Structure 1
Amino acid sequence: MDRLTSMAVFVKAAETGSFASAGAVLGLSSQMVGKHVRLLEERYGMKLISRTTRRQSLTEAGSAFYERCKSVLAEAEAMEALAANLQASPRGKLRVNAPVSFGAYCLVPMLTRYLQDYPGVEVELTLSDRIVDLIDEGYDAVIRIAPLPDSRLIARPLTPYRLIACASPGYLAAHGIPERPEDLAEHACLGFAYWGRPAAAAWEFVGPSGRHSVRVTSRLSINNGQALRIAALEGFGIIVQPCELLRDDLAAGRLVRVLSEYETPSLPVHILFSPDRRLTPKLRTFIDYVAAAFG
């Protein structure tokens, strides 16, 4: 006999007060109920139910065993529900938030493939460079590009975000090409102003001689990478932005990479979701899809 089935029969016998009542509920004979209980008693070597001609009652060991059986059966039921959930077809709406440039140039192409593979899912994507509150604002998942503070969210790491420095050919012809990070102090540098805080006063680079921290002057600071790109195309200064945002302009020669022997420190990227939010098929498949594309 299956042990979980015997536990379920024992629990019902304990709750109904007799083998006959348990059998009536479960569709078993009272003899079969008794057989399940005796099987457990023999297996674990202890008396579970004390019976007389008038009544039955749990022994001390039976009372403890009853509570444990309820926990085991609840866990088994939860596992069955989880298995069914994992096999279910993903469907419903996902609310996702991501930084503007990453979302537009990296995430959206992946999203179209994801939605083609999972036609039952809808995605509402919000692009913003401010730090949203995943739980309070009702997002299922958030992609964040920055060092993470301690939080109650689950964070799955993705490939770090690579940034490069570039400028238009016209700007470089008029102002010269910087050969070392320190040369940027004499150039117009276009700063990225994060939500709620000003543009960085210093740009970081790593090169053959180690790390360089250079103070830069930004007459123009913008909180949007696409807008900074346009300002650079207009010849207004040097920008440090993601490779994905600049790839087409670099290939066409509209922008030119500078300080190619130096790298800016890559930014950590994570997809975040709440440990309290049930990992539904739509959320699980989305997280796996993002991890496969960017992990």
Structure 2
Amino acid sequence: MDKLRSMEIFVAVVECGSFTDAATRLEISAVMVGKYITALETTLGARLLDRTTRRQSLTDAGRVYAEECRRVLEQVAAADASVERLRAAPSGTLRISAPSTLGACIVAPAVATFLQRYPDVRVELDLSNRVVNLVEEGFDLAVRIGDLRDGDLVAKPLCQYRMVICAAPDYLARYGTPQTPQDLTAHRCLSHMVWNARNEWRLSGSEVESPWRRDPVLACNDGLGLKMAALAGAGLLLQPEILLREELKRGELVRVLDAWLPTPRPVHMLYRHDLHRLPKLSGFIDHLQHAVAQ
């Protein structure tokens, strides 16, 4: 079997944690993944993975070999990139990670117009709120909200992530309009289930910051679900302004407590220091910045 392909499959198994997940990433069968790993172990004369019915783990030989395989594959990718950089137009596959809400509202539309401009590019857009490892998971670009912890990555500012507090007019007619954060104790609040004491939004504008209510009448793990509940008059909603722009414009939701909104969080684009700035990456960075500015 092709040695380079075997190394690629082995690294995918190590990163994904199972033959099945590696097969999904590589778009081949799990049986074929197993054949490649077996052939590789036979060629090397060493077991790379200890496999049981429930789990698999790297042997000492497998751990060393996985690191060397990554280096080889990076060198091959760099060789391919050296040719790609000679091409005038962006091409190839661009892997992007972005938070769910921001990614759906901002990044996905920008990807669509970028693909229209550059038909030779293919994009894999992963929308989730987990923090991906660009190096280990093979992403070209990540969009992140808030403080940065990856000091080994290039961080380019993109925009500010602003929140808004609002409610449907009929809710405000029934419960009144809050004037200060202290008034929230008398209101029915809606909240996202991922918010906790570590990542909660805090209302500012006064000497003492106060958290958004931790005892919501409705907690949901989906932003669209919370918005629909607010539109139906369920309570006060704290949500990204970008997600509510049209409803606020039409008056279906009314802003409140503007003087106490949480401090906006910075949004950055992240990519590796040592990653060659291929046309597909440089082009999309510029394109996304322009789209956000517009």
Q: 1:126-145 alignment to 2 at 5 Å? A: 126-145=126-145
| Alpha-carbon distance, 1:191 to partner | 1.7
In the alignment, which residue of structure 2 is the partner of 1:289? 287
Q: 1:94-113 alignment to 2 at 5 Å? A: 94-113=94-113
Comparing 237-246 with 256-265, which one deviates more in the overlay?
256-265
Quote the Cα distance in structure 2 between the aligned partners of 1:200 and 1:218: 17
Structure 1 unaligned segments of length 5 or more: list them. Answer: 1-77
Quote the Cα distance in structure 2 between the aligned partners of 1:231 and 1:82: 52
Per-residue CA deviation, residues 214-251 of structure 1 (Å, 9 max, x unaligned), is: 45122432333222212212222211111111011112
Matched, 1:276 2:277: no
Q: 1:124-273 alignment to 2 at 5 Å? A: 124-194=124-194, 198=196, 203-207=201-205, 209=206, 212-214=209-211, 216=213, 217-273=215-271
Q: Residue type of the partner of 2:223?
A: G
Quote the Cα distance in structure 2 between the aligned partners of 1:201 and 1:146: 10
Quote the Cα distance in structure 1 between the aligned partners of 2:118 and 2:276: 19
In the alignment, which residue of structure 2 is the partner of 1:33? none
Distance 1:292 1:202, change over 3 A: closer
Q: Residue type of the partner of 1:275?
A: H
Distance 1:180 1:225, change over 3 A: same
Q: Secondary structure at the match of 2:139?
A: coil
Distance 1:191 1:84, change over 3 A: closer
- Aligned pair count? 213
Q: Residue type of the partner of 2:292?
A: F
Per-residue CA deviation, residues 79-135 of structure 1 (Å, 9 max, x unaligned), is: xx9798266321011111111111111222222221222221111212112222222
When normalised by structure 2's length, the TM-score is: 0.65
In the alignment, which residue of structure 2 is the partner of 1:5? none
Comparing 92-101 with 224-233, which one deviates more in the overlay?
224-233
In the alignment, which residue of structure 2 is the partner of 1:121? 121
**Runs of 4+, deviation exceeding 4 Å:** 81-84, 199-203
1:121 and 1:282 in contact (8 A); partners too: yes
Quote the Cα distance in structure 2 between the aligned partners of 1:152 and 1:185: 43
Q: Secondary structure at the match of 1:116?
A: helix
When normalised by structure 1's length, the TM-score is: 0.64
Q: Secondary structure at the match of 2:188?
A: coil
Comparing 106-115 with 215-224, which one deviates more in the overlay?
215-224
Q: Secondary structure at the match of 2:131?
A: coil
Structure 2 unaligned segments of length 5 or more: list them. Answer: 1-77
Provide the identity percentage. Answer: 43
Quote the Cα distance in structure 2 between the aligned partners of 1:271 and 1:241: 22
2:84 and 2:278 in contact (8 A); partners too: no
Q: Secondary structure at the match of 2:282?
A: helix
